[in-house]
Chains A and B, each alone.
Chain A
């Protein structure tokens, strides 16, 4: 971290030197320098991640956990070391509580299947109005197959969870699990995880946080927030696709039946029946995403070398700057105004559809997302069919935000 007075005075500029680590930022799109403002969908990859994955395939690759040869043992060691890194990243008490999955979606499906099988008919799961489909559809599927109730905690117009309403949803003691986002992928809202966990526990419920957005931006400690399950995905954390994480309290993971069956997740197999491996391997059937796991490890090393203090300060200052600049664009409306928010900003513009905004920005080299952001019920709650969304990574600069705002003004002038 750059500790010079200038850098400390400007947390946005303090990370500027890191752009050199991201080769893709040198690319041009439609003849313009790439301005990548879609990191909430998937972040770009630093050379450290690219090299770690490539190096593994070039020098040290074999299947894990079963080979008795040098390559397999080295690869197994490299993969298992990432389990320790993930435990460190989120403050998990034990490495055995870290289950590798394909992504957050698969991690939530795992919990919906396996923890879900312990939920009895008549019990309920609570989600919120601002969930990504990944933390909504698996619970609908569980509801429909297991006869449980799915309750939806409302949000305020500012885009914050209505805690009194959540309390009421919990009050009959029938709720087995509260599953909510730790940071909204649409509104940027950071939810008060500790309070939610305390409320859930007081009502006898467990709590799962979808940390897909949150782990990218701030230090997360699963013990501090009182989580029972925490999920996130590697590709938003500057790592590769195809690798995600479920953390769960050991006693819960041990009580849960397996999710997928196959190799690696068993202890013994006979035609009459099989027994399961200990956690976490009970939940990791089949050859895992070896290269991607190692890539995730490199990504965690990379962000820990920067430090979450610098990352969070950069993002907070950049988000403030962006909210100020976007407020100056005539006809632009930022969706939601949560008090505690991350670097994800959804907006609409009078007279200009989000898809037209996205296409015209793209012609100017600026990548944003437009649509319902895998959160259709939230769009309905907000009374819009789609929004445009700009989201920031540690490589985003003040100038890129200014370019966005200036180009949006020009786009609007086309339409009015």
Chain B
């Protein structure tokens, strides 16, 4: 069977046993992303310091392997970063998914570079980021 570079062991294992799944007790901010095309949904809860640094992230994801793995890797990468840094990472990630280039700039999210050849699946990988950005945007209002 042709397995496709997209479904690397790293992605499948992360989807099967996510390290950051669940709800975050005492989350200061929450966000949600839904994909009406397929019914997938990601909820993100995070804790933000007064200085704007993310200290913890948990996600509750109902979705495909791409979506769960992307959410979990995102949660791991977000801890210790500022909202500003995460906004930049989100844009770099989106650009990589569009072009297939720049994998080295986005840490382990680089495994999703082959998605640029599956346009209909890009939304699966960006859905967690929609939820994260919503959570972080909410933080600016407070």
Q: Interface on A for B, CB 8 Å cutoff?
A: 30-32, 351-356, 359-360, 363-364, 370-372, 376, 379, 385-386, 407, 410-411, 414-415
Contacts and interface: CB of A to CB of B under 8 A. Distances in A.
Determine chain B's interface SS by DSSP, over half rule. Answer: loop
Given A355-B38, A414-B12, A360 B3 contact: yes
B65 A353 contact: yes
B25 interface: no
Nearest to A384: B39
A375 B130 CA distance: 25
17 contacts: A30-B2, A31-B2, A353-B64, A353-B65, A355-B121, A355-B124, A356-B7, A359-B7, A360-B3, A363-B2, A371-B38, A372-B39, A385-B40, A385-B62, A410-B1, A411-B1, A415-B12
Contacts of A351: 16
A385 B118 contact: no
Given A355-B121, A411-B1, A415-B16, A386 B38 contact: yes
A359 B39 contact: no
Given A355-B124, A359-B4, A359-B121, 5 more contacts: A351-B16, A355-B121, A359-B6, A364-B2, A385-B40
Query: Among A359, A372, A386, which residue has the most Cβ atoms of chain B within 10 A?
Result: A359
Contact of B4 (A354, A363, A407): A363
Contacts of B7: 356, 359-360, 414
A355 B6 CA distance: 13
A125 B124 CA distance: 37
Interface in B17-64: 37-40, 62-64
Interface in B60-90: 62-67
A127 to B, nearest CB: 21
Contacts of A360: 1, 3-4, 7
B88 to A, nearest CB: 28
Nearest to A379: B39
A209 to B, nearest CB: 28
Contacts of A411: 1
Contact of A356 (B2, B37, B62, B66): B66
Contacts of B38: 354-355, 370-372, 385-386
B65 A415 contact: yes
Nearest to B9: A414
A355 B65 CA distance: 9
Given A386-B38, A414-B7, A356 B1 contact: no
B136 to A, nearest CB: 26
Query: Among B39, B40, B63, B121, which residue has the most Cβ atoms of chain A within 10 A?
Result: B39
Contacts of A356: 7, 64-66
Contact of A364 (B1, B12, B64, B124): B1
Contacts of A354: 38, 64
Nearest to A365: B2
Nearest to A371: B38
A80 B67 CA distance: 51
Nearest to A406: B1
A407 B4 CA distance: 13
A363 B3 contact: yes
